Chains A and B, each alone.
Chain A
Amino acid sequence: MWKFSIICSFMAIFTGIALNLISNSIHDRRKQLSALEKKIEQKIEKLKILETEWEYHTQPDKLMQIAEDKLGMSTKEVEQFGEIKIVKLRSSAWKLDLGVTKDNLLKDFDYKKVRN
């Protein structure tokens, strides 16, 4: 009876200590997790604010204004469009040995392929 009681008490003490250690480590990990969660949440929030700011600053009217003022860009007028037929090229561009002819160019001729 005595032996049994002593063994039980020791087992209980050891188990208690072991569990306490486990519990502490879990507690620490939970703390770490919650700190990470908070960090993630903060990052997500920051990202959202950045996304919103980006969208605000890239509103079409703002971009159009910047393109016009800083880059001198404007709406394309029809007069700016033409076909390759009307583009004047230097005679060297029509080297027959490369197979580059005006007709070929007009047929989407793969100039790079011939060159390589």
Chain B
Amino acid sequence: MDEVDLLILGAGPAGMAAAAEAAGAGLVVALLDEQARPGGQIYRDVTAVPPARAAILGPEYRAGRPLAEGLADPRIRHIPGATAWKIDPDRTIAYSVDGKAALIRGRRLLIASGALERPVPIPGWTLPGVMTAGAAQILLKQSGILPRRAVIAGSGPLLYLIAAQMVRAGTPPLALVETQTRGDLLAALPHLPGAIRGWRSMAKGLGWIAELKRAGVPRHRGARDLAVDGAGRAEALALTAGGRRRTIPCETVLLHEGVVPNIQATRLLGLPHRWDQAQRCFVPRHDRWGETPLPGIHVAGDGAGIGGALVAELSGRLVGLCAAAALGRLDPVERDRRAAPLFRTLARERAVRPFLDAAYPPGPQTLSPADGTIVCRCEEVTAGEIRRHARLGCKGPNQAKAFGRAGMGPCQGRFCGLAVTAILAEANGQSPDETGYFRIRPPIKPVTLAEIAAMAPTGPDKDSA
């Protein structure tokens, strides 16, 4: 079996920064990532993007390029196209590249698996033509394609960014439908003084909104009762705003109610998670060095709690320093000296979060979908069915699987887990922590029996220390 000093899962900003920092201290690093090129979703294909597309995507995207180029360090082995399907507490990962499976172990392990779009269960969200706003960003970054007649709906700064990028590309969205309300903004105001420390992020957001205004993109704020209409594909988005029901014809609907940590890997490891009420999601428990209660296993980046690309990069660097010190390659005093400015910048970058979390909360349909709405896309289980399970005594998501298959399809709950937890918590009068989450078991990505069978026998491994 391969063994390295620091094994990293995920080549986004956290994983790339951790790799660079650790390699700089002399550690041998392996970086596993599903995609063909480094960058994660935020910097997807940043090393290959043509100049015109890079101009549309803006400086925040281009800022990822030096990080990706840093992987050229000979101490870093970047393993692209790698699907990790099993992760063990002894820091071994089973993964496949091009249908060939292998094992690799790290003396330290960093899970930097990033974020997923929060599920947005509204009527019609399973129709072809409905995508996440993040999917539209990926299509633009990697493939240079943009929807021509799109409505963007939901809540959060990413909506303004993708809309502004569509304006720059010459295909402005038909409308921006925002679910946050004036009340949310008022509730966020007490966090504004704290957010001033992160004024750069605020200025960026205001810049995007100004671009949309200049382009004349219609905005509908405080929108309720969103529904995608169409026979066999998305044909319109219906909504109520300003006391009026309206229908906006379109071909594509881009949904976004914020992003949440991708916790498939950390749940698989059996790590403890806590409910973050401000961000309304589960986050794996960790200390300020990203270390979890499992020895030698770290988390960093959005997978450790949503903070965005810069926070991810800084938290990754801290893990790199911590790993180097833990393995005796960096004096603890030197670790602390290098970490001090990182902690200071981290605090500044995180300062804007409480304001954003309060100003752009997930809308009421996301937190409590109507009975007829499909929640589990794979098994086509509705919110009403989950509530019926609760009336029959179903207390948590794992029981819900037995009651009605929610979470048992190929996505393994990635796009229904939080909604199932929320519906059961509300129906049973429990907290999300009491309600819990799906138990995640291997393989966390599909793997063929042939791939497993072809793996080199591992038996008692005399080579490993």
Q: Do A and B bind each other?
A: no
| B residues in contact (CB < 8 Å) with A | none
| A residues in contact (CB < 8 Å) with B | none
